[in-house]
Amino acid sequence: MTTGSNFLNEHIIEKARVHYAITDTGGVSPNVVQAQAEVLYLIRAPEMADAQQIFARIEKIARGPR
């Protein structure tokens, strides 16, 4: 998810920013892919419409391929 949003940065308007923090890693073992994790995203843009478009694209990244 975070990799996808990092790649998205190349395709959004220049003044927009996407920040994230991993708030729950799902466990304590660093070498195991956990069943669940949580991440918090903050989207900044000069116009609300721009932020909403970026949000929609990040939601699509979170859902994954269909």
For Cα atoms 8, 11, 15, give the angle at the middle one, nearest 5 degrees. 100
Q: What is the pLDDT of residue 56?
A: 97
The stretches of 14-47 forming alpha helices (DSSP H) are: none
Single-letter code of the amino acid located at 27: G
Q: Give the chain's residues under pLDDT 50.
A: none
Query: Is the whole model's pTM more than 0.85, yes or no?
Result: no
For Cα atoms 46, 1, 50, give the angle at the middle one, nearest 5 degrees. 15
